[in-house]
Amino acid sequence: MKILSGKTQIDFMGKRKSALVFSLLLIVISLGSLFTRGLSFGIDFTGGTLIEMAYPDSVDLGGIRHLLGEAGYGDVQAQHFGTSRDILIRIAPRADRASAEISEDILAALTGADAAAEMRRVEFVGPQVGEELTEQGGLAMLYALIGILIYVALRFEYRFSFGAVAALVHDVIITLGVFSVVQVEFDLTVLAALLAVIGYSLNDTIVVFDRIRENFRKMRKGTPESVMNNSINQTLSRTLMTSLTTLLVLLALFFLGGEIIHSFALALIVGVFVGTYSSIFVACSSTLALGVSKADLMPVEKEGKEVDDQP
């Protein structure tokens, strides 16, 4: 890295082959985990019963699981929800019992052991609803990518649109891969976070593409690679400051926001890191590999302009 006159001179495009290998490695790991381990889908997608219980004092999750196991619900998921006095219980759907019966059994078992236990809320999601949400969520992401492909192609040039979509697909796959590897619950809030990651990454990419288009028209000498390097370096401070300030907010949400938005904040944190990286190394490298040149971005000359300009 060189710094001349207070400006960075980093050869990003010279490192694109190393970045390609790194990205491919992450994608292979992510896809391998997704195919072998899958995602830990929440009740929004799998269906089942969700119960929130409140206790006057701290409660041990091991004791709760043991108690529910004796009541015939050994496969439940129990976790603290916000504080150590609140717990969230998830039960998969059962063919032999209705959701209302399951919630009554759980409440009876817990209040039998501690009369002070209080049910705060109970939610039921049927398997059919979960399947529909899975399908519609996937379609929402697909439609978003198609819309972005069209938008960038109209605003810039078709090579840029493929570069932008390649970066977004890269971001989504790696974010999903992180959730598959660590087996953090994937629910509707995470799906919303993924769509937000797409928007964040696209915004970062558009800023870089705008500067690339401007420099292609201003810099009469220089290869496409040098133009892209200059453009990335010129927008680097803006990119880093935006990412840093966003991460400060997300880290606060992750550590202080409570269990309910833990997965949401994690998805956005991963997305900001990956999106910042991909807007530089994936979007620009893909566009360069597709053969973009100065001629592709020069304004189209209007026919008869010379005649119109004559007195």
Tell me what the pLDDT averaged over the chain comes to.
82
Determine contact, residues 150/64, Cβ cutoff 8 Å: no
Q: Is the pLDDT of residue 300 over 60?
A: no
The whole-number pLDDT of residue 113 equals: 82
pLDDT in tens, 77-122: 888 877 788 888 888 777 777 777 888 888 888 888 887 888 888 8
Residues 220, 217: Cα–Cα separation, whole Å: 7
CA 305 to chain centre: 48
Residues 188, 263: Cα–Cα separation, whole Å: 10
Grade residue 287 by pLDDT with cuts at 50, 70 and 90: confident
Q: Is the pLDDT of residue 291 over 80?
A: no
Mean pLDDT of 282-286: 88
Q: Is the pLDDT of residue 250 over 60?
A: yes
In order of 83, 113, 114, the CA distances from 57 in angstroms are: 10, 14, 11
pLDDT in tens, 190-248: 888 988 888 888 888 888 888 888 888 787 677 888 888 998 999 888 889 999 999 99
Domain spans in the chain, listed from the N-terminal domain onward: 2-40+129-297, 48-125
Mean pLDDT of 247-261: 87
The whole-number pLDDT of residue 307 equals: 46
Grade residue 296 by pLDDT with cuts at 50, 70 and 90: low
Considering only CA atoms, which of 284, 292, 290, 287 is closest in space to residue 205?
284
pLDDT in tens, 3-43: 444 467 788 888 889 999 999 999 999 999 999 999 888 77
Q: Is the pLDDT of residue 138 over 90?
A: no
Q: Which residues pair with 78 in a beta bridge?
A: 89
Q: Is the pLDDT of residue 306 over 70?
A: no
Domain at 48-125, CATH from 3.40.190.150, 1.10.3720.10, 3.30.1600.10, 3.30.70.3400: 3.30.70.3400
**What's the distance, Cα to Cα, between the start and end of the chain in Å?**
53
The whole-number pLDDT of residue 4 equals: 42
pLDDT in tens, 176-193: 999 999 988 888 888 889
| CATH fold for domain 2-40+129-297 | Multidrug efflux transporter AcrB transmembrane fold (1.20.1640)
Q: Is the pLDDT of residue 301 over 70?
A: no
- Specify the pTM: 0.79
CB atoms near residue 66 (< 10 Å): 12
Q: Is the pLDDT of residue 274 over 90?
A: yes
Q: How is residue 223 written in tokens?
A: 């290869």
The whole-number pLDDT of residue 6 equals: 47
In order of 45, 186, 210, 214, the CA distances from 238 in angstroms are: 38, 32, 13, 17
